[in-house]
Every structure is written in C-alpha cells, then in structure tokens.
Amino acid sequence: MAAPTLVAQEDLSSAPLTVRVDSARHEVVLTAGPFDLPSMAGHGHDPSMMAEYTQRFEWPVEAMGRGFTLELRDASGQKVSQRVLHHLQIANNSRRQLLLPLRERVMAIGRETRNIMLPNTIGMPLARGSRMRLNIMWHNETPRDVQGVTATLRIRYSPANLLPAPTTVLPMSIDLADAQGKTNTFTIPPGGLRATREFIMPVDGRLLGASGHMHDWGQSVALEDVSTGKTVLSITTTLDSVGRIRNMPVKLYGIAGRGIRLHAGRHYRLVATYLNPTGEPLEGGMAHLNAILAPSDLRQWPALADQAVAYVDDGAPAAGEATPHSH
Ligand SMILES: [Cu+2]
C-alpha cells in the first residue's frame, strides 16, 4: 500500500517483538528490542542516518483502545530519553484511513509526543485478529551511544463489553503531503514555509482531540473551514533555540464539551507553518494533524477496498515551489 516515507540506513527488524495481554490492567503490552543505537548527533534529520524496525502482529483482544504509555530502557534498566526515537507507528491493515486509501494509523508517537490516555468514556474499536504493523524509526540525536534499548509500549483498553458503551472514536490523520506512491516529506526553504492542503470531509462527526507531528522548526498546524474562513482548531509548538520541538500540545475537546463538529461534504483546509532561520533549505519536513473523530455513523466509514481520496490538491509544494513566509 503506502510507499515507505523514509529510507533508513539500517534495518533492525531481526530484533524480537513480544505481544501479551495484561488483562488485570487492561493493557496490551508490546516489547521490542534490544536495539543498539549509536549517537547521530550532528547528522540532523537525514533519513539515511536512521535505523528502522518493522514487525507484524495480530491484535490479541476484543477491545476499545484508550491510549498508551511508552517506556525506553537501556541494557542496565535505566530509562532512556525519547530523543533516541524519530517515530513509532502502529498501522491497522484491517481498516483504511478516512481521507486516503491507506491503512489506518492507530497511533503515531514522535520524539515530542507525550503519553496519551483518553477517559474510559471514549474508545477506539480494535477487533481481535486485526492485522497490525509496528514500525519504529530510531534516530539517536543525543550525544551518547545507547546499548540494548528495549521499547515497552502499553496500550490501555476498555473491554469491548464495557457498560455504558464508550463513545466510538477512530483516528483521523490529515497530512500535508501524504499520497499514494510519493514521499510525505517536503523541503522547507530558507525563511520558512506556510503550506495548505484541502479536503472534503467524507463523514459527519465530532473531533474530540487533536495533536500534531512535525519535524525540527515546525511551528503550527491548524484546520480551517474553507467556506467560512474560520479556524476550527490550531496547535502551536514550543521550539528551543536550535528548532527542536520542546512541546507539541495535545488538545482534548470532548471532555467538557461535545467536541468540534465536522460536516460531511464540507471543505476544510490544513495549514502548516515552519520556521527556517538556518539560511539553508531543510529537507525532510513533515506536517500531520492527528485527531480522534467520533463519527456520527460508523457504517459511513470508507470500506477497506474503497479507493476514494478526500484531498482535492497535492498539499505541500515540491522543493523549489515553496512560498516563503516572513515573521
Ligand atoms: Cu516524522
């Protein structure tokens, strides 16, 4: 299905993955590793300096997923900074994305992502036997080599028969560049970038939460209603002096309120901004808005075989056509 988005220098996929169910704590526990991760400090975000790990597994329990905690430990049991991680993703081959005919991204964790836990009134249906794929891109940006790193991902769930039944949510990923058969990264010219991508919402639903994924110097992702020009939601990062993301806010809209209503057939626009004070083009930019959507009617969700694409343009410009953005 999707073309690989990054080509890593090294393949670490021979390391084992174990999957177990901790039914007392209502957690599916994935343990991957060990991995030896030499320091790549000073090599920026060059994908050729990354190491990739991919494993397939079957989802083991009938569940409503609520969130996760990720813990990295080295061979001596010491906690390891998430700065050795570029991203960790779980894709579900048994369901497609809302906007693209690609497999669902159940979760995506970047180095900037904090642990996420939804209240037990909300859950993502995960059927036992669903075909999952774990993908980790390692990129140790710390100055030290770390040996024997084990990643433990605990995915919390509510049992599928919990009463009252939780509100059903599915992930909705809006990507500035993702498309079949092309890379989902782009170049940020000196001075920065403001780029947009429009889509027509395929279903009615309420957004209950949202966060973003960007690379160094990523400033904001926002969603606008094209017909009214109004900003539906906006997420702004906190950057340090060398452009690393120190905080990527996670916003929840469905806890106190009823969420943000999105309408089927309506036109929306993703707007992403990057800074780039380096004086050089920055390769390998990414901008995703990752949300959880409570669809009004789950049966309207596009079926796995449905090839419809909801985007109406290609999004981020290819290198050279970018619109510089002043600040
Ligand atoms: Cu990325």
Q: What is the pLDDT of residues 270-316, one digit of tens each?
A: 999 999 999 999 988 999 999 999 999 999 999 999 999 999 998 88
- Judge if 137 and 189 occupy the same domain: no
**Spacing, Cα 86 to ligand 1 middle (Å):** 7
- Judge if 173 and 154 occupy the same domain: no
* CATH number reported for the structural domain that contains residue 16 in this entry: 2.60.120
- Judge if 115 and 177 occupy the same domain: no
Q: CA 7, 9, 15: angle at the middle one, nearest 5?
A: 100
**Spacing, Cα 87 to ligand 1 middle (Å):** 6
Tokens of 6: 């990054």
DSSP letter string, 54-93: EEEEE--S-EEEEEEEEEEE-TTS-B--GGGEEEEEEEEE
- Judge if 129 and 203 occupy the same domain: no
Residue 316 domain-assigned (yes or no):
no
- Judge if 114 and 241 occupy the same domain: no
| Contact yes or no for 105/192 (Cβ under 8 A) | no
Three-state secondary structure of 208-273: EEEEEEECCCEEEEEEEECCCCCEEEEEECEECCCCCEEECCCEECCCCCCCEEECCCCEEEEEEE
- The Cα-based distances of 238 to 186, 214, 245, 253, 260 in angstroms read 21, 12, 6, 21, 24
| Percent residues over pLDDT 90 in the chain | 71
**Spacing, Cα 159 to ligand 1 middle (Å):** 32
- Judge if 105 and 45 occupy the same domain: yes
Q: What is the pLDDT of residues 113-167, one digit of tens each?
A: 777 788 888 999 999 999 999 999 999 989 999 999 999 999 999 988 888 888 9
Residue 3 domain-assigned (yes or no):
no
* Structural domain of 62: 10-159
- The overall average pLDDT reported for the chain is 89
Count the domains in the chain. Answer: 2
**Spacing, Cα 160 to ligand 1 middle (Å):** 32
* Residue that the structure tokens 């905690």 belong to: 69
Residue 164 domain-assigned (yes or no):
no
Residue 317 domain-assigned (yes or no):
no
- Judge if 76 and 113 occupy the same domain: yes
SS3 299: helix
**Spacing, Cα 182 to ligand 1 middle (Å):** 15
- Choose the final residue of a domain: 159, 186, 212: 159
- Judge if 126 and 209 occupy the same domain: no
**Spacing, Cα 280 to ligand 1 middle (Å):** 20
**Spacing, Cα 147 to ligand 1 middle (Å):** 23
**Spacing, Cα 215 to ligand 1 middle (Å):** 6
Q: CB-based contacts of 22: which residues, under 8 Å, 6+ apart?
A: 28, 29, 154
**Spacing, Cα 213 to ligand 1 middle (Å):** 7
**Spacing, Cα 214 to ligand 1 middle (Å):** 6
Closest CA to 261 of 208, 216, 205, 214: 205
Residue 324 domain-assigned (yes or no):
no
- Judge if 25 and 147 occupy the same domain: yes
| Contact yes or no for 85/50 (Cβ under 8 A) | no
pTM (two decimals): 0.84
**Spacing, Cα 110 to ligand 1 middle (Å):** 7
**Spacing, Cα 166 to ligand 1 middle (Å):** 31
- Judge if 63 and 145 occupy the same domain: yes
Residue 190 domain-assigned (yes or no):
yes
**Spacing, Cα 52 to ligand 1 middle (Å):** 13
Q: What is the mean pLDDT of residues 249-260?
A: 82
- Judge if 216 and 81 occupy the same domain: no
**Spacing, Cα 303 to ligand 1 middle (Å):** 27
SS3 298: helix
Predicted pLDDT of residue 8: 63
* CATH number reported for the structural domain that contains residue 283 in this entry: 2.60.120.230
- Choose the final residue of a domain: 130, 159, 188: 159
Residue 182 domain-assigned (yes or no):
yes
**Strand ranges across the sheet with 85-96:** 10-11, 51-58, 131-138, 85-96, 103-110
**Spacing, Cα 283 to ligand 1 middle (Å):** 12
- Judge if 278 and 246 occupy the same domain: yes
Q: What is the pLDDT of residues 21-60, one digit of tens each?
A: 999 999 999 999 999 999 988 666 566 678 999 999 999 9
Residue 326 domain-assigned (yes or no):
no
Rounded CA separation 295/277 (Å):
41
**Spacing, Cα 11 to ligand 1 middle (Å):** 18
Rounded CA separation 158/296 (Å):
21
* Residue that the structure tokens 């702004």 belong to: 236
| Strands 167-168 vs 122-126: parallel, antiparallel or unpaired | parallel
